[in-house]
């Protein structure tokens, strides 16, 4: 590009990085609220995040940034490929920001901090009425946001677009229509098999400190860089950060091994995506995720396709026994593998098995879509939640803490987020099918403790490109096919039918 265009691009990058670094600071404030902040600091944190959100909104909607984007887009063909990606994606997010009034953006941020603090208390007390007024307020604000952004068919589309750009509720419904019937059929086959793994193996005494040490050992082996990240405890597992400062959280239960361990591998999958971006582009869209669905594909792949695989446990089981000798010495590998892959409807999403997990997402998608479209009142939410849990999973929560209050998402106004979990499962299966085709001995590599082959493949194919390609295009580029639910269905059948003695 010529000197004047180069100068314009350099100034654009400077403004872009300021915005991204300010947003990253907001992520650290959120991490602190969940991990370390004293409870009484919630009002102050709300003021801090609202102030920061206002500053970011001003930068996103500044006339100068718009002028620079106009200049770059007018000379698009003269820009390098990375510059085209950065200008395209900044145009998308700044156009969205300009539609949202500054005051509304700040009010949402302020409410998020207070609603999250109330959610923590309400969950501890299993008291939905305590949280309900905050949920009402958050939903009202998100409706205002959707109306300001605009949409063609559904308010929900405007909110979903923030997490899975260009996706629509209609498309999500089509995915569920293709995916759910074979999953429901597989659940039926498993239930009728009569086989029940020894799940009590997971509920023996697993001291928390040893769980923490074993979890850190495992994510190091998988490739998470603890020199550029850390692990803490929070009420709901989460990941925030980028490249050299990735914060993971999990939660421990001495008498349930799987929750913390697989939760941590899940979050480490997110973390390895963040650590895998091209550092030359730090602070720009080129070094951020293609979508939340792609982000979830990384966490779900490491959690389920690797962490719950027989090959992983052939490698890791002796180490498990070394960390927990009193609880595991009498356990056979085959019984342990069956236990960590038990298919049994659970009221808790983050503890759900691979097969039933997506039914949890369908439930949340249907409910939050009705909440946004004002077809469902907040006061009626717990009863409907329990009804749908009974219908879809046959597992009614014992209380609201295990039911409608179990997820942090709605306290933060993250409406439209949940479908990305199922998209992540779908993308993960298709990507994993491709890497196994390229490395036919991948499972043997896992058995020998080689997980870097997969990590390096993901670094090159998924992580490093950042937002070069949009989600569906990225999947097509890497796998040679458009995203397709059949890969997930085939994976689930191939894994769980033999485990439960079901003929194909």
Could you give the residue numbers annotated as active site? 267
Q: Which two tokens stand for residue 110?
A: 């302020």
DSSP letter (8 states) at residue 463: I
- Please state, as a whole number, how many other Cβ atoms lie within 10 Å of the Cβ of residue 115: 26
- Any residues with CB less than 8 A from the CB of 449 and at least 6 apart, and which? 221, 315
Parallel/antiparallel/unpaired status of strands 229-233 and 238-242:
unpaired
| Buried residues in 328-365 as b, exposed as e (16+ CB within 10 A) | beebeeeebbbbbbbbbbbbebbebbbbbbbbbbbbbb
Which residue's entry shows tokens 């994510």? 219
3-state class of 126 per DSSP? Answer: coil
Which residue's entry shows tokens 């949890």? 360
Residue 433 and residue 299 in contact, taking contact as beta carbons nearer than 8 Å: no
- Please state, as a whole number, how many other Cβ atoms lie within 10 Å of the Cβ of residue 160: 30
How far, in Å, CA of 183 to CA of 357, rounded? 10
- Please state, as a whole number, how many other Cβ atoms lie within 10 Å of the Cβ of residue 37: 17
Question: Taking the C-alpha atoms of 102, 103, 104 and 109 in order, what is their torsion angle to the nearest 10 degrees?
Answer: 90
Instruction: Select from 97, 133, 78 the least CA-distant residue to 16.
Output: 97
Biggest CA–CA distance in the chain, Å, is 72
List alpha helices for 62-127, DSSP H.
63-74, 81-99, 102-125
- Please state, as a whole number, how many other Cβ atoms lie within 10 Å of the Cβ of residue 214: 21
How far is the CA of 379 from the CAs of 113, 130, 156, 406, in angstroms? 22, 11, 20, 17
């Amino acid at each position: 590009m010529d000197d004047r265009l180069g100068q314009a691009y350099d100034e654009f990058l400077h403004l872009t990085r300021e915005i991204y670094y300010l947003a990253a600071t907001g992520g650290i404030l959120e991490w602190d609220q969940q991990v370390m902040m004293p409870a009484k600091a919630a009002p102050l944190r709300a003021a801090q995040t609202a102030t920061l959100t206002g500053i970011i909104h001003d930068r996103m909607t500044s006339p100068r940034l718009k002028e620079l984007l106009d200049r770059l887009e007018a000379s698009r063909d003269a820009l390098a490929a990375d510059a085209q990606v950065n200008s395209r994606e900044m145009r998308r997010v700044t156009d969205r920001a300009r539609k949202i009034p500054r005051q509304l953006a700040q009010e949402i941020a302020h409410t998020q901090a207070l609603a999250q603090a109330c959610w923590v208390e309400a969950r501890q007390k299993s008291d939905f009425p305590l949280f309900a007024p905050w949920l009402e307020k958050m939903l009202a604000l998100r409706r205002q946001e959707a109306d300001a952004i605009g949409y063609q068919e559904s308010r929900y589309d405007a909110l979903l677009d923030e997490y899975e750009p260009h996706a629509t509720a209609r498309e999500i419904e089509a995915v569920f229509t293709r995916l759910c019937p074979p999953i429901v059929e597989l659940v039926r086959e498993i239930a009728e098999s009569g086989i029940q793994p020894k799940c009590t193996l997971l509920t023996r005494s697993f001291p928390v400190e040893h769980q923490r040490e074993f979890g850190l050992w495992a994510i190091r082996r998988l490739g998470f860089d603890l020199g550029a990240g850390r692990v803490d405890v929070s009420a709901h597992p989460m990941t925030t950060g980028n490249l050299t400062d990735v914060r993971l959280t999990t939660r421990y239960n001495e008498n349930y091994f799987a929750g913390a361990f697989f939760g941590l591998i899940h979050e480490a999958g997110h973390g390895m995506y963040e650590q895998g971006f091209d550092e030359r582009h730090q602070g720009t869209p080129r070094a951020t995720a293609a979508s939340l669905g792609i982000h979830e594909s990384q966490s779900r792949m490491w959690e389920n396709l690797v962490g719950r695989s027989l090959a992983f446990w052939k490698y890791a089981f002796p180490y498990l026994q070394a960390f927990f000798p009193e609880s595991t010495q009498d356990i056979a590998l085959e019984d342990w593998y069956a236990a960590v892959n038990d298919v049994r409807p659970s009221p808790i999403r983050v503890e759900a098995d691979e097969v039933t997990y997506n039914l949890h997402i369908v439930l949340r998608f249907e409910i939050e879509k009705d909440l946004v479209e004002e077809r469902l009142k907040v006061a009626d939410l717990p009863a409907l939640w329990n009804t749908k849990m009974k219908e879809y999973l046959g597992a009614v929560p014992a209380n609201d803490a295990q039911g409608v209050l179990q997820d942090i998402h709605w306290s933060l106004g993250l409406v439209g987020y949940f479908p990305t979990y199922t998209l992540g499962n779908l993308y993960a299966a298709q990507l994993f099918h491709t890497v196994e085709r390229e490395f036919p001995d991948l499972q043997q590599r896992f058995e020998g403790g080689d997980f870097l082959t997969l990590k390096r493949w993901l670094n090159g194919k998924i992580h490093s490109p950042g937002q070069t390609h949009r989600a569906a295009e990225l999947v097509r580029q890497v796998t040679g096919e458009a995203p397709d639910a059949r890969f997930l269905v085939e994976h689930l059948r191939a894994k769980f039918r033999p485990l439960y003695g079901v003929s194909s």
